[in-house]
């Protein structure tokens, strides 16, 4: 196994751009050659310093491109290489009906399958080039056909770890569809290489750039064009590092999961992350950065517990027990994902990577109780029984809530209907007391008209995310003043009464229009959930990033990394269950919701139903074909034409589940 250095010996770029073709059946392009020049210019200049081989127009014949790729045989193990192509792409079916993708060279005849450059032949260069990191950027129609042999995204790691492992990566302008020359993926790519990713100051990696380009192009084209950023088989958890700022902070050198925990607004996450940083002190590559981070935390962190633990880590002293939150807890979650509502200390940095530890429940700091107009009878003396961690022990607070007229959470008045819910109450009374933590709720599943549904209690959460594209911003507070029900699983083929693209009674019904989904729910005496209801059911008051927690766990979701290009039986990923007991809120199929697709409000909302009109309806949750963890977050949203199946993103990726008012 090769031993790689934490740097590059040399960098190579082959940039190909073709506007005009000898065969008139290929229409002229307006910017392919200028795009290739722009990529070459930005990568040739500091800080990238690539060696450039530029092939433009009639010079970009099939033989010339193959010869240029052949020159990559001279690369050394610690080199990196990029192949960029802008021009026409096309597909042909082979003898057994498989679609084969080709790049159109300047001398290509579209009817001759051997005249073009097969996508697979381009990417096979990884078999004999020695460079540890190679990337292929294809700005052409049908360029997703280059992804015949791919693997899932690599685990998050440090720059040093990325540099010591192989990586073969691909960024394409789209999947198996025609892409627009007017909305150039390359324009956004070049802009990102020149200016960086907004809000990010650390190392610039190929995956970060690719994901940002994908999100930007997808948003600007309203999902008519969806770039793909993926890994080729043969990668070994490496990553092409494009640029490391010379003034990068020590924290930027740490693994991304650890960086996110240290940058959390929740002091408990930072507290536990200190132990992980301490273990890096003996690492030959990361030890100095780890010590610098601990030095900073020991002085500047706004939590006394974190400062103390950082000082202990530096002195290798015994570590004190985890902190028991003693500062007043905020009634509402802070803005952003994965930030529990009991997060107490604002930090200067944001981001979350791990599920929060469960703090001890402090009921008196969670709710404001308003006395009834008439003098109430003295409350019964609370039973002296310890609070159960992770769940409200109603006996522990005795009769303290009996006779309460109203609860106020987040400035919203919740008026209970009837007697306060206790473990002995029936299901009609459950859920009216608002919850302020996911752990305060025990999932309650009940059959409604023959379909298992999960009860979602009243409460508040922060909808949207500051991490990602602008369509999930601004983050805003949403409250529900009454509980509601939502299907435990996506509606199945068996429940719908017919099959979509993928057969099997327990698979989700795909290939369904918004109207078809709405009608099915109404026949059951139910309805489609609102977009806010759907996200609250997936995230809860803790504002989780994914339905199961904050780290991405591939085994918890049906996505491109494990789906075998098809849906799976509903509920087949039990680890992905949400806080209210619902399955597959992430992955398997996108899900229609009731709302028109529009811009989020920045104001606090109660029981919102979305815009009054629009062109597209919202879909949520991601699907079996999504390859990126960002697309599978509970805050992710998109829009699709309600009268069409799939709206250009495939007939087999959209399903639904139903909801029911309490």
- E-assigned strand segments in 311-394: 368-370
What does the chain come to in residues? 662
**Shared-domain flag, residues 222 and 258:** no
Name which of 228, 90, 75, 45 is nearest 147 in CA terms.
228
Q: What was the pLDDT predicted at 311?
A: 87
Q: What was the pLDDT predicted at 188?
A: 92
**Shared-domain flag, residues 239 and 282:** no
Residue 1 lies in a domain: no
Residue 338 lies in a domain: yes
> The tokens of 537 are what?
């059911």
**Shared-domain flag, residues 256 and 278:** yes
Residue 297 lies in a domain: yes
Q: For the chain, how many structural domains are there in total?
A: 3
Asked whether the beta carbons of 604 and 582 are under 8 A apart, the reply is no
pLDDT tens-digit readout, 435-464: 999 999 999 999 999 999 999 999 999 999
Q: Burial-class residue 398 by CB neighbours within 10 Å (0-12, 13-18, 19+).
A: middle
**Shared-domain flag, residues 122 and 146:** yes
Asked whether the beta carbons of 543 and 340 are under 8 A apart, the reply is yes
Q: Are strands 659-661 and 637-640 parallel, antiparallel or unpaired?
A: unpaired
Q: What was the pLDDT predicted at 662?
A: 84
Q: Are strands 228-232 and 605-606 parallel, antiparallel or unpaired?
A: unpaired
Strand order across the 406-409 sheet: 368-370, 406-409, 412-414
Cα angle for residues 512, 518, 523 (degrees, 5° grid) = 110
Tokens 């369509």 — which residue?
Answer: 471
Most confident stretch, 38-42, 110-114, 470-474, 644-648: 38-42
Angstrom distance (rounded) from CA 242 to CA 246: 13
Using 50, 70 and 90 to split pLDDT, how confident is the model at 384?
very low
CA distances for 123 relative to 146, 260, 388, 482, angstroms: 8, 34, 56, 55
Q: What was the pLDDT predicted at 588?
A: 96
* DSSP letter assigned to residue 614: -
Instruction: State mean pLDDT over 161-167.
Output: 84
**Shared-domain flag, residues 540 and 561:** yes
Q: Out of 94-98, 266-270, 479-483, 631-635, which region has the weakest mean confidence (pLDDT)?
A: 94-98
Higher pLDDT among residues 218 and 656, named by residue: 656
> The tokens of 415 are what?
């008026």
Asked whether the beta carbons of 562 and 554 are under 8 A apart, the reply is yes
Using 50, 70 and 90 to split pLDDT, how confident is the model at 285?
low
**Shared-domain flag, residues 152 and 66:** yes
**Shared-domain flag, residues 339 and 223:** no
Percentage above 90 pLDDT, the chain: 38
Instruction: State mean pLDDT over 303-310.
Output: 86
Domain that holds residue 55: 11-243
Task: Report helix, strand or coil for 242.
Answer: strand
Asked whether the beta carbons of 566 and 502 are under 8 A apart, the reply is yes
**Shared-domain flag, residues 159 and 24:** yes
**Roughly how many angstroms between the first and final C-alpha of the chain, as a whole number?**
61
Residue 381 lies in a domain: no
**Shared-domain flag, residues 206 and 274:** no
| Residue at a domain's end among 359, 386, 409 | 359
Average confidence score pLDDT of the chain:
77
Phi, psi of 299 (to 5 degrees): -110, -40
Strand order across the 99-103 sheet: 89-93, 99-103, 117-118
Half-sphere exposure of 174 (CA within 13 A, CB side): 23
Residue 300 confidence (pLDDT) above 70: yes
Q: How crowded is residue 243: how many other Cβ atoms within 10 Å of its Cβ?
A: 17
Residue 402 lies in a domain: no
| Residue at a domain's end among 298, 331, 359 | 359
| Residue at a domain's end among 359, 394, 413 | 359
Q: What was the pLDDT predicted at 615?
A: 72
Q: What was the pLDDT predicted at 421?
A: 34
**Shared-domain flag, residues 473 and 578:** yes
**Shared-domain flag, residues 269 and 200:** no
Angstrom distance (rounded) from CA 471 to CA 616: 13
pLDDT tens-digit readout, 182-228: 457 899 999 999 888 887 777 788 988 998 998 888 888 777 778 88
**Shared-domain flag, residues 333 and 202:** no
CATH code where residue 220 lies: 3.40.50.12660
pTM value is: 0.44
Beta bridge partners of 637: 620
Residue 4 confidence (pLDDT) above 50: yes
Transcribe 43-103 into DSSP letters. HHSTTT--EEEEEEGGG--HHHHHHHHHGGGG--TT-EEEEEEES-EEEEE-TTS-EEEEE
Residue 421 lies in a domain: no
CATH code where residue 544 lies: 3.90.1580.10
Asked whether the beta carbons of 365 and 384 are under 8 A apart, the reply is no
Instruction: State mean pLDDT over 396-409.
Output: 33
Residue 76 confidence (pLDDT) above 70: yes
Residue 460 lies in a domain: yes
Residue 284 lies in a domain: yes
């Amino acid at each position: 196994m090769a031993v790689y250095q934490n740097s590059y010996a040399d960098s190579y770029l082959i940039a190909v751009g073709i506007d005009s073709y000898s065969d008139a059946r290929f229409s002229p392009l307006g910017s392919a050659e200028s795009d290739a020049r722009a990529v070459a210019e930005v990568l040739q200049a500091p800080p990238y310093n690539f060696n450039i081989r530029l092939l433009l127009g009639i010079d970009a014949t099939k033989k010339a491109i193959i010869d240029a790729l052949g020159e990559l045989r001279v690369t050394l193990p610690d080199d990196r290489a990029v192949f960029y192509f802008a021009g026409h792409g096309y597909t042909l079916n082979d003898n057994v009906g498989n679609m084969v993708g080709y790049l159109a060279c300047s001398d290509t005849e579209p009817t001759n399958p051997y005249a073009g450059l097969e996508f697979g032949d381009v990417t096979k260069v990884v078999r004999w080039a020695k460079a540890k990191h190679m990337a292929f950027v294809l700005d052409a129609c049908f360029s997703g056909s280059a992804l015949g042999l791919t693997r899932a995204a690599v685990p998050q790691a440090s720059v040093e770890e990325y540099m010591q492992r192989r990586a073969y990566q691909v960024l394409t302008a789209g999947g198996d569809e025609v892409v627009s020359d007017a909305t150039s993926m390359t324009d956004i790519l070049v802009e990102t290489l020149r200016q960086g990713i907004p809000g990010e100051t650390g190392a610039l990696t190929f995956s970060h750039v690719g994901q940002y380009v994908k999100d930007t192009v997808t948003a600007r084209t309203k999902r008519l064009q969806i770039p793909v950023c993926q890994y080729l088989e043969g990668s070994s958890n490496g990553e092409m590092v494009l640029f490391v700022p010379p003034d990068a902070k020590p924290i930027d050198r740490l693994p991304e999961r650890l960086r996110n925990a240290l940058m959390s607004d929740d002091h408990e996450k930072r507290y536990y992350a200190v132990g992980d940083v301490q273990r890096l002190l003996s690492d030959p590559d990361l030890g100095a950065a780890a010590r610098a981070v601990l030095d900073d935390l020991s002085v500047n962190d706004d939590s006394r517990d974190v400062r103390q633990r950082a000082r202990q880590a530096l002195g290798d002293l015994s570590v004190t027990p985890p902190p028991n939150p003693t500062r007043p807890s905020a009634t509402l979650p802070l803005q952003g994902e994965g930030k529990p509502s009991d997060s107490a200390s604002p930090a200067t940095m944001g981001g979350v990577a791990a599920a929060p530890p469960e703090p001890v429940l402090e009921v008196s700091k969670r709710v404001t109780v308003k006395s009834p107009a008439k003098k109430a009878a003295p409350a019964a003396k609370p039973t002296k029984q310890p609070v159960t961690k992770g769940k409200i022990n109603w006996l522990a607070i005795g009769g303290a809530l009996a006779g309460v007229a109203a609860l106020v959470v987040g400035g919203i008045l919740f008026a209970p209907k009837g007697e306060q819910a206790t473990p002995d109450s029936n299901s009609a009374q459950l859920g009216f007391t608002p919850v302020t933590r996911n752990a305060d709720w025990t999932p309650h599943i009940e059959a409604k008209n023959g379909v298992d549904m999960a009860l979602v209690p009243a409460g508040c959460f922060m909808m949207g995310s500051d991490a990602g594209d602008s369509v999930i911003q601004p983050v805003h507070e949403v409250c529900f003043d009454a509980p509601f029900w939502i299907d435990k699983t996506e509606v199945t083929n068996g429940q719908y009464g017919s099959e979509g693209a993928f057969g099997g009674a327990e698979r989700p019904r795909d290939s369904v229009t918004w109207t078809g989904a709405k009608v099915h729910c109404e026949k059951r005496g139910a309805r489609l959930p609102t977009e806010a209801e759907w996200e609250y059911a997936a995230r809860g008051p803790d504002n989780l990033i994914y339905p199961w927690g904050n780290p991405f766990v591939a085994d918890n979701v049906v996505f491109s990394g494990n789906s075998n290009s098809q849906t799976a039986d509903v509920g087949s990923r039990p680890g992905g269950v949400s806080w209210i007991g619902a399955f597959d809120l992430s992955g398997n199929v996108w899900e229609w919701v009731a709302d028109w697709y529009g811009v989020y409000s920045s104001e606090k909302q109660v029981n919102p139903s979305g815009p009054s009109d629009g062109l597209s309806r919202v879909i949520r949750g991601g699907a079996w074909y999504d390859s990126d963890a960002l697309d599978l977050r509970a805050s992710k949203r998109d829009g699709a034409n309600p009268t069409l199946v799939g709206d250009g993103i495939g007939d087999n990726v959209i399903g639904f589940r139903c909801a029911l008012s309490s």
